[in-house]
Amino acid sequence: MSELTSESNIRDEEGALLASFVKAVRLAIDRDDFDTVRALSAGLHESDLADLLETLASNERFAVVEVIGSQLTPATLVEVEEAVRDELVEQLPNQQLAEAVEELDTDDAVYLLEDLEACERQKILDQVPHDVRTAIVRGLQYPDDSAGRLMRQNFVHVPTFWTVAQTIEHLRTDANLPEQFSEIFVTTPSLHLKGTVSLDDLLRSALEMPIEDLMNDERHLINVEMDQEELARKFERYNLISAPVVDDDNRLVGVVTVDDIVEVIAEEAQEDIFLLAGVGDESLADTVMRTALRRFSWLFINLITALIASYVISLFDATIEQMVALAVLMPIVASMGGNAGTQTMTVTVRALATRDLGAANAGRVITRETLVGLLNGLIFALLMAVVAYFWFGSGRLSGVLAAAMIVNMFVAGISGILIPLFLEYRKIDPALASSVFVTTVTDIVGFFAFLGLAALYLV
């Protein structure tokens, strides 16, 4: 990285791109000052250039790519988020994409090409060597978000009868080995895995030692169709650096490394957060129309649930007309219940995603969350009863508000955990549907409890 584009000149203390740096790039683009654009962008690290391209508008992004041309490294194409990557792939010539595919690891090449139309993808693959093309086509055949899509098909494997000396010589002389690796797989002639040897163990061992005596036979085999979320949990559970990927016949076909898993963990966490908010697969680089359409369906569902809650209120319109204070206080009951339910739901959804919550401890956690809801209900009921009394001077109104608060907070605790558990049991992603159901339950129960008790005791 040049001095002009050193990290201190382009990022602030929190790691975000400096507004002054982005402004300088945009100003150079507006002035058609291509030398400055090239100087500001061409020396950037792949990750920094990817962040810059994501920050710029589409026309500015295309201008930068056109200026730096072939200096746009394959690694940058992999670093940018999906929406930006698709734009860049459409813009770049097939020859440049073919060169990028040939240089990238198999998993990155698959990621780069997976969203292209079949005919466009084939035009690019026709320009790469046969062995590279075969590996990429094989990777594209595996399901989305599976280990087969993540794995690198180039790995180091040696037979059981080799010695340490033979293995080291193989690592020194074989030009077809991957650029980076940390483990060596010990296999049979049919590529069935017998064990693994780490590089540090290899280099510390006597040259004449048989590799079979050195290998670790504890194997964490990954099936090619294992979902990437489950794969990430396995890496976390066993502190893996890499893991062998096998086909249905248990033959070694690839390897997944921890750098790929870091991206998976970030992707899955982002997905859960977005789903909880009803946003879905969204990017800051998406257009206004695309973003609006993606959010519309969930907003429409929320409108329906809001209408249901409003209908419950309409059942007590005569009661509200006789006591205006009810209209002032009832949003508090519903809001507190909704917030309490969301807290429980968020903890539950995350625990389900990490497999920390299951049949073995569900009963205990349900009891805990129910008691938490009840305890918070009692505390806030007392607090709001005092507030309501000094506000409206009515002890009976304060009592009704307190009772409704206890009921709704109690129900919020129960629904916040039971709804995600039920959705998980029905094989529905709890992150996707829990929020709207929990909010609906707490709104309806809150309004019904408060207004119903008011109709019985105040009017």
What is the tens place of the pLDDT at every residue in 446-457?
999 999 999 998
- On the CB side of 278, CA atoms within 13 Å amount to 17
CATH number at residue 209: 3.10.580.10
Task: Report whether pLDDT(411) > 80.
Answer: yes
DSSP string, 290-326: HHHHHHHHHHHHHHHHHHHHHHHHHTTHHHHHH-THH
Per residue, the 3-state secondary structure of 356-392, as one string, reads CCCCCCHHHHHHHHHHHHHHHHHHHHHHHHHHHHHHH
Residue 221's pLDDT is what?
92
321 lies in which domain range? 288-457
Could you tell me the pLDDT band of residue 133, with boundaries at 50, 70 and 90?
very high
Residue 109 shares a structural domain with residue 166: no
- Range with lowest mean pLDDT among 48-52, 197-201, 244-248: 48-52
What is the tens place of the pLDDT at every residue in 9-25?
788 777 788 888 889 99
Query: Helices 19-30 & 46-55, crossing angle to 10 degrees?
Result: 70
Residue 267 shares a structural domain with residue 327: no
**Where a domain ends, among 103, 134, 150?**
150
What is the tens place of the pLDDT at every residue in 210-230?
999 999 988 889 999 999 989
CATH number at residue 116: 1.25.60.10
Mean pLDDT of 431-435: 80
Mean pLDDT of 266-282: 73
Residue 341 shares a structural domain with residue 432: yes
**Buried b / exposed e across 8-23, counting CB within 10 Å, b at 16+?**
eebeeeeeebeeebbe
Question: Is 261 a member of any domain?
Answer: yes
Residue 4's pLDDT is what?
53
Task: Report whether pLDDT(194) > 90.
Answer: yes
Task: Report whether pLDDT(1) > 80.
Answer: no
Count of structural domains within the chain = 3
Chain mean pLDDT for the chain: 88
